[in-house]
């Protein structure tokens, strides 16, 4: 299948068929960089490169999944599933499961999310007796994270007088000690935080040449998307792994570098040539995504940045409509404008909701938009913000599961040792922590040996602690014999968590109970998927890893039709026919925090460039003259970025005032007089109210089926499908959708079918597979 290269223009084909050796594609938005990466992988496989030897690093796991699907379409076989593809974090978490033991980590190490890290840091600050108003745990966590991403270990920190002094000057001289304690505590708990996944990979590859050699040999071809946003730690991993074969292909756009606040380093692009010697350099200039107006407007914006590689971006697409700018008196009105406009466009053009995206600078802006969409019954989904797995009740249940897998997990233990309440007070926990630190053991180990230690804990409390240990151990035994769903359900009941929220009786308690049910459904889904998979590896621990690294974007299966709401940062790499960029106001976008230096302002401008170039057909830029921020109604001024777009490409939907300045606030004009004052009240988001009215998802369907047995689909351990399944048969699967049987093997209970579904290839045990022949 060589003609797939016809799907590329000449400039794109060159990097795709580039022979071995390093190559870099630097090109503007929408010019096909991601496409080049995808096709290059397919091409390599067509040329006989073993799919096991290819590693591709993407910005989200969702992007990786889509890429795999595309590759499977092109190469037309099941090889695509052997590709190592995903985000840096998920790929290297996997690698550390195999080889992290060399650094002293158990293969079932826990992954601490940001919240876990922050809680641990807060408790260390408290244990050290420091003032929490000076040592703010979030700030300290940020600092530690940036040290780690720059590979500044604790030792390196103390050896660097500049760092030590900087913290002393900031009146936080004990930051280094907190860092040290934090690292020790994570290690003792058998836990890695997000940054560790990169830092420890680096450590592993540096300290163990044989491990490095193994992975260099394995990943002979490495490809990186969005290279402009890799941080130093990621850069070094890629550098080390590609050092031997130098088959490294990176694609990126310096104009879209938007993560420098997280340590992303644009010099990674600029130095690539220096680092790798003979580099194939490719440029793409044709944009396939957007109309002429959008492409030209975006060019006119980015031209204002001084520090930019020279680039041409053009398109042969239609001129399209002008970019529409809209002013509203308030943020609530802005929300209403966006909702009405989406509604109108949908109706006039007969478009699905998924064609629309609303992008904003900060998460808190979503509320006004949500209110308006809800009033118009337009289904939407918010990406980012607090994800499902970070909700309190979900983290509580997960904490028990984490303890089952890794009882040393300190944050999980502290979370649930007294939840639901079992009379184990904070003083007792503090004593356990002190003892654990003293003996260099985990809290759980201390609890296991209470009898032998003199901890000044009264006997009643001791019994309670011992009961807790016994309970966790009983869960561990259960984990050996039953699947994760049975265990999780047992835990939710046995520990009393479900009862706790039920007793609560408030709408919030009920919502929490429902969330736990939803989690159980998710686990069941996962378990069923695993059961069917002939070559499934892990059970509960694999589920926990998925959960720890999942972003909401990843979970988006695109199977329900909703308007997408997200920050611009998250929208990188995505595209939508209609894009609304809201809150185009000074101090909001550009952000008030980013106007102190030229380089900060330039990063904001790149962010604007990213936002605008997401749009395929039509872009709207909206701003409000008054906005609720920090609980107050404040005057807002139109963003300077609006002034920066070449006038040729814009259309003002709202009249311009006479004050000379095109977008000057109209606060005193009669427009403000027309505002419904009731809308100026800040409405608190109602917790527990489902944000959308939409088609039920699989989990909800399952619930419905449970409720109404008459519409239940048969479930059970033995499958009753038509035995006439053969290679080439078309089938329908309850989870994976339509598919085609590629291969059948085994007999009787072991009979398996390899099936190519739309998005994935699976090997299913027919005994369990929920298949229907169509
Ligand atoms: P970004 O900078 O936003 O990440 P990108 O450079 O990665 O963009 P892609 O997402 O690969 O660009 O491509 C943009 C759109 O143009 C996609 O929908 C892609 O399928 C389409 N496209 C790219 N090249 C071609 C081509 N040669 N023929 C048809 N469509 C193309
Ligand atoms: Mg891309």
DSSP classification of residue 113: -
* Local confidence band at 557 (pLDDT 50, 70, 90 cut-offs): low
Question: Measuring from atom 17 of ligand 1, which residue has the nearest CA?
Answer: 289
CB 731 within 8 Å of CB 771: yes
Please state the domain count of the chain. 5
Closest listed residue to residue 516, CA positions, set 704, 699, 734 = 699
Same domain, 28 and 89: yes
Last residue of a domain, one of 238, 262, 284: 284
Residue 526 has a pLDDT of 80
Catalytic member of 200, 289, 614, 763: 614
* Local confidence band at 592 (pLDDT 50, 70, 90 cut-offs): confident
Residue 656 has a pLDDT of 57
For residue 37, how far is its CA from the centre of ligand 2 (angstroms)?
9
Residue 738 has a pLDDT of 82
Same domain, 409 and 502: yes
Whether residue 89 has pLDDT greater than 70:
yes
Residue 319 designated active-site: no
Over residues 658-665, mean pLDDT: 36
Q: What percent of the chain has pLDDT over 70?
A: 88
Which DSSP string do the residues of 549-587 spell out, in sequence order? H--HHHH--S-S--EEEEEHHHHTT--EEEEEE---BTB
Is there a binding annotation on residue 32? yes
pLDDT tens digits for range 56-76: 999 888 888 889 999 998 887
Q: 201-210, 250-259, 499-508, 715-724: which has the minimum mean pLDDT?
A: 715-724
Q: 363-372, 464-473, 753-762: which has the minimum mean pLDDT?
A: 753-762
Residue 445 designated active-site: no
Whether residue 753 has pLDDT greater than 90:
no
Closest listed residue to residue 9, CA positions, set 318, 287, 317 = 287
Residue 206 has a pLDDT of 97
Same domain, 260 and 320: no
Q: For residue 295, what are the CA distances in angstroms to 11, 36, 285, 308, 311? A: 19, 20, 11, 17, 13
Residue 17 has a pLDDT of 96
For residue 72, the SS3 value is: helix
Phi, psi of 167 (to 5 degrees): -70, -35
Q: 44-53, 88-97, 647-656: which has the minimum mean pLDDT?
A: 647-656
Closest listed residue to residue 715, CA positions, set 768, 753, 754, 755 = 768
Q: 108-117, 509-518, 645-654: which has the minimum mean pLDDT?
A: 509-518
Residue 77 has a pLDDT of 66
Nearby residues for ligand 2 (ion, Cβ within 5 Å): 33-34, 573
For residue 217, the SS3 value is: helix
Same domain, 643 and 617: yes
Q: Is residue 524 part of a domain?
A: no
Same domain, 490 and 406: yes
Same domain, 67 and 214: yes
Print the domain residue range for 372. 314-386+562-652
Q: What percent of the chain has pLDDT over 90?
A: 61
Residue 84 has a pLDDT of 93
Question: Measuring from atom 4 of ligand 1, which residue has the nearest CA?
Answer: 573
Return the bridge partners of 740, or none: 730, 756
Whether residue 670 has pLDDT greater than 70:
no
Catalytic member of 99, 116, 193, 225: 225
Same domain, 115 and 217: no
Residue 36 has a pLDDT of 97
E strand or H helix at 339, and its extent?
helix 331-349
| Ligand 1 binding pocket mutation candidate from 6, 16, 33, 35 (most atoms within 8 A of CB) | 35
The torsion defined by the Cα of 27, 31, 35 and 40, in degrees rounded to 10, comes to -50
Catalytic member of 58, 201, 228, 256: 256
Question: Measuring from atom 30 of ligand 1, which residue has the nearest CA?
Answer: 288
Over residues 467-484, mean pLDDT: 92
Residue 465 has a pLDDT of 96
* Local confidence band at 536 (pLDDT 50, 70, 90 cut-offs): low
Same domain, 82 and 205: yes
Residue 306 designated active-site: no
Residue 34 designated active-site: yes
Same domain, 513 and 569: no
| Ligand 1 binding pocket mutation candidate from 3, 30, 69, 571 (most atoms within 8 A of CB) | 30
Residue 185 designated active-site: no
Hey, what are 353's tokens? 């909701």
Question: Measuring from atom 18 of ligand 1, which residue has the nearest CA?
Answer: 289
* Local confidence band at 210 (pLDDT 50, 70, 90 cut-offs): very high
For residue 67, how far is its CA from the centre of ligand 1 (angstroms)?
12
What is the rounded distance in angstroms from the CA atom of residue 347 to the CA atom of residue 342?
Answer: 9
For residue 1, how far is its CA from the centre of ligand 2 (angstroms)?
24
Last residue of a domain, one of 623, 652, 681: 652
pLDDT tens digits for range 560-588: 899 999 999 999 999 999 999 999 999 99
Whether residue 444 has pLDDT greater than 50:
yes
Whether residue 147 has pLDDT greater than 50:
yes
Same domain, 172 and 258: no
Over residues 396-404, mean pLDDT: 95
Residue 51's domain is classified under what CATH number? Answer: 3.40.50.300
Same domain, 223 and 252: yes
Q: 207-221, 498-512, 603-617, 754-768: which has the minimum mean pLDDT?
A: 754-768
Is there a binding annotation on residue 30? yes
Is there a binding annotation on residue 335? no
For residue 647, how far is its CA from the centre of ligand 2 (angstroms)?
28
Q: Is residue 50 part of a domain?
A: yes
Cα-to-chain-centroid distance, residue 377: 27
Q: Would you call the peptide bond into 420 cis, given omega within 30 degrees of 0 as the criterion?
A: yes
Catalytic member of 99, 167, 226, 754: 226
Q: Is residue 749 part of a domain?
A: yes
Same domain, 262 and 393: no
Q: 72-76, 188-192, 257-261, 690-694: which has the minimum mean pLDDT?
A: 690-694
Hey, what are 323's tokens? 């970019």
Ligand 1 cavity residues, CB under 6 Å: 7-9, 12, 27, 29-35, 253, 256, 288-289, 573, 575, 613
Q: Nearest ligand to the C-alpha of residue 30? A: 1
Q: Is the ipTM of this complex over 0.95?
A: yes
For residue 617, how far is its CA from the centre of ligand 2 (angstroms)?
18
Residue 676 designated active-site: no
* Local confidence band at 554 (pLDDT 50, 70, 90 cut-offs): confident
Give burial (CB, 10 Å; 0-12/13-18/19+) of 750. Answer: exposed
């Amino acid at each position: 299948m060589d003609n797939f290269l016809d799907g590329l223009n000449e400039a794109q084909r060159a990097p795709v068929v580039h022979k071995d050796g390093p190559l870099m594609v630097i090109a503007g938005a929408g010019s096909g960089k991601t496409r080049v990466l995808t096709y290059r992988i397919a091409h390599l496989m067509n040329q006989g490169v073993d799919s096991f030897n290819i590693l591709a690093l993407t910005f989200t796991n969702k992007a990786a999944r889509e890429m795999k699907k595309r590759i499977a379409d092109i190469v037309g076989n099941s090889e695509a599933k052997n590709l190592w593809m995903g985000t840096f974090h998920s790929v290297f978490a996997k690698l550390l499961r195999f080889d992290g033991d060399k650094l002293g980590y158990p293969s079932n190490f826990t992954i601490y999310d940001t919240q876990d890290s922050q809680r641990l840091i807060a408790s260390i600050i408290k244990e050290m007796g420091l003032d929490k108003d000076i040592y703010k745990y979030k700030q300290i966590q940020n600092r530690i994270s940036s040290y780690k991403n720059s590979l500044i270990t604790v030792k390196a920190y103390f050896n660097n007088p500049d760092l030590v002094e900087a913290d002393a000057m900031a009146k936080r001289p004990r930051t280094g000690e907190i860092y040290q304690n934090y690292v020790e505590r994570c290690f003792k708990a058998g836990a890695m935080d997000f940054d560790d996944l990169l830092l420890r990979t680096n450590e592993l590859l540096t300290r163990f040449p044989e491990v490095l050699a193994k992975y260099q040999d394995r990943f002979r071809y490495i490809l990186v998307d969005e290279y402009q946003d890799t941080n130093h730690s990621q850069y070094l991993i890629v550098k080390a792994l590609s050092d031997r074969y130098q088959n490294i292909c990176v694609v990126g756009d310096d104009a879209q570098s938007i993560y420098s606040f997280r340590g992303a380093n644009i010099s990674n692009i600029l130095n690539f040539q220096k680092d790798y010697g003979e580099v194939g350099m490719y440029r793409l200039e044709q944009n396939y995504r957007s109309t002429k107006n959008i492409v030209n407007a975006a060019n006119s914006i980015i031209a204002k940045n001084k520090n930019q590689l020279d680039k041409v971006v053009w398109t042969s697409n239609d001129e399209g409509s002008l970019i529409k700018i809209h002013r509203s008196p308030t943020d609530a009105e802005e929300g209403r404008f966006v909702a009405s406009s989406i509604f109108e466009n949908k109706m006039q053009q007969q478009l699905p909701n998924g064609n629309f995206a609303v992008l904003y600078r900060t998460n808190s802006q979503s509320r006004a938009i949500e209110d308006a969409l809800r009033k118009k019954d337009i289904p939407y989904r918010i990406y980012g913000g607090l994800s499902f797995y970070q909700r309190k009740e979900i983290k509580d249940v997960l904490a028990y599961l984490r303890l089952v897998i890794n009882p040393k997990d300190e944050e999980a233990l502290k979370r649930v040792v007294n939840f639901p309440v079992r009379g184990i007070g904070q003083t007792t926990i503090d004593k356990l922590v002190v003892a654990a630190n003293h003996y260099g053991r985990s809290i759980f180990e201390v609890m296991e040996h209470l009898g032998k230690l003199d901890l000044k804990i009264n006997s009643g409390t001791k019994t309670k602690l011992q009961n807790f240990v016994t309970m966790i151990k009983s869960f561990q035994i259960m984990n050996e014999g039953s699947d994760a769903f049975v265990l999780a359900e047992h835990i939710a009941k046995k520990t009393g968590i479900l009862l706790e929220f039920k007793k609560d009786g408030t709408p919030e308690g009920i919502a929490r109970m429902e969330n736990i049910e939803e989690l159980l459904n998710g686990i069941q889904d996962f378990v069923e998927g695993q059961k069917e998979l002939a070559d499934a590896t892990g059970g509960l621990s694999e589920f926990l890893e998925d959960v720890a690294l999942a972003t909401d974007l990843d979970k988006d299966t695109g199977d329900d039709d909703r308007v997408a709401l997200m920050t611009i940062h998250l929208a990188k790499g995505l595209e939508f026919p209609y894009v609304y960029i809201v809150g185009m106001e000074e101090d909001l976008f550009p952000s008030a925090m980013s106007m102190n230096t030229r380089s900060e302002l330039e990063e904001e401008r790149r962010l604007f460039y990213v936002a605008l170039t997401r749009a395929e057909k039509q872009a709207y830029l909206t701003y409000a003259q008054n906005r609720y921020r920090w609980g107050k109604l404040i005057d807002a001024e139109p963003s300077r970025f609006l002034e920066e777009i070449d006038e040729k490409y814009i259309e003002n939907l709202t009249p311009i005032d006479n004050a000379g300045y095109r977008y000057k606030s109209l606060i005193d004009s009669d427009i403000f007089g027309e505002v419904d004052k009731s809308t100026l009240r800040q409405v608190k988001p109602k917790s527990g109210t489902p944000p959308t009215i939409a088609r039920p998802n699989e989990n909800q369907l399952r619930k419905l089926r449970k409720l109404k047995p008459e519409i239940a689909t048969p479930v059970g351990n033995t499958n009753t499908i038509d035995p006439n399944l053969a290679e080439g048969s078309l089938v329908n699967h309850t989870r994976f959708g339509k598919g085609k049987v590629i291969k059948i093997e085994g007999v009787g209970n072991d009979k398996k079918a390899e099936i190519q579904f739309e998005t994935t290839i699976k090997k299913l045990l027919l005994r369990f597979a929920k298949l229907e022949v169509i």
